């Protein structure tokens, strides 16, 4: 890729934008070539920064056998800024609220530009295995999880069957 030196600024800007997009594309290619077991991520045809994601509920968790849909968006500043991720499937989990927003430190203040889509999705999959009711986003669910974990698991399982079955 090269551009004549005396190119107008809007072309230069386009070039920079394309260059930024190549990071996204090469990462997508790697993701497709070596998928993580239990996770799929496919970019939209019309917007390569927007991904349809599915995560399988980890075995041994109340979300087992569920397939959860998520959306992932890479902002212009990515990888300097974290991707925006949201659950589209309803889920009964103390760190995921009604709107599907996820409370995960690496998606916020603990983001590192060396992290990738793959690592982010793996962390979310791990969050399903290890809910953290001490740092809740859905206070009622967290309370339920803390006071009667067995019953909370039952509800999580029910929701998984109701909303996340294949």
Partner 1 sequence: MHFSKVYAQLLQDLPPELAENSFQYRELKKLINQIATELLALGLEPTVLHNLLQSEGKGKGKEKETAPTVFYELDTTSGKIEPRLRLWVEPPTSRVEEVGEFEIEGSSSLSSQVSLSSALQRHPEFLSGLRIGSQVEVVIPLTSDSAFFQLLATSLQTLQAHLVTINAQFVRTLVELTKTVSDSARPASSTSSGFRVLSGLKSDAGGVRVGASSAKSDLNAWREIFALYVETEIFESIHERDRGERSVEEAQNRLRKFADRMTARGLKDGHLMKLKQSQDALDCFLQLNVFILNVKKFELANAEATRKILKKRMKRTALPTTDSNNLNSLSLIPVIDGSLPRILVQELGTTLLPIIPSLEDYQCFICMSLAFKPIRLACGHLFCVRCLVKMQKRGNGDCPMCRSPCVLVANRSNVDWAMLNFMRDWFPEEATVKLKQNEREAAQEQLEELGLPEERCIMM
Residues assigned a catalytic role: 103
What is the binding site for partner 1 (CB under 8 A)?
Answer: 1-3, 8-10, 12-13, 15-16, 19, 23, 26-27, 33-37, 79-80, 110, 112-115
> Could you tell me the smallest distance in angstroms from the CB atom of residue 10 to partner 1?
5
For every residue of 65-111, DSSP letters joined together read T-EEEEEEE--TTTTSSPPEEEE-S---BTTB-TT-BB--GGGTTT-
Report the Cα–Cα distance between both ends of the chain, in Å, rounded.
43
> Could you tell me the smallest distance in angstroms from the CB atom of residue 115 to partner 1?
8
Do strands 67-73 and 50-56 pair parallel, antiparallel, or not at all (unpaired)? antiparallel
C-beta of 34 vs 46, nearer to partner 1? 34
> Could you tell me the smallest distance in angstroms from the CB atom of residue 29 to partner 1?
11
What 3-state class would DSSP assign to 151?
Answer: helix
C-beta of 12 vs 44, nearer to partner 1? 12
C-beta of 15 vs 163, nearer to partner 1? 15
């Amino acid at each position: 890729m090269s551009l004549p030196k005396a190119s107008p600024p809007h072309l230069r800007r386009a070039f920079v934008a394309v260059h930024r997009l190549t990071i996204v594309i090469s990462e997508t290619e790697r993701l497709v070539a070596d998928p993580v077991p239990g996770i799929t991520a496919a970019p939209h045809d019309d917007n390569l920064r927007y991904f349809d994601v599915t995560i399988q509920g980890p075995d041994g968790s109340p979300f087992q056998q569920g397939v959860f849909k998520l959306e992932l968006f890479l902002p212009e500043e990515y990888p300097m800024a974290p991707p925006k991720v949201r659950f589209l499937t309803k889920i009964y989990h103390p760190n995921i609220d009604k709107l599907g927003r996820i409370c995960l430190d690496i998606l916020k203040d603990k983001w590192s530009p060396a992290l990738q889509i793959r690592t982010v999705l793996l962390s979310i999959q791990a969050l399903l295995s290890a809910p953290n009711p001490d740092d809740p986003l859905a206070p009622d669910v967290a309370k339920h999880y803390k006071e009667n974990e067995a019953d909370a698991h039952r509800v999580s399982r029910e929701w998984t069957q109701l909303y996340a079955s294949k």
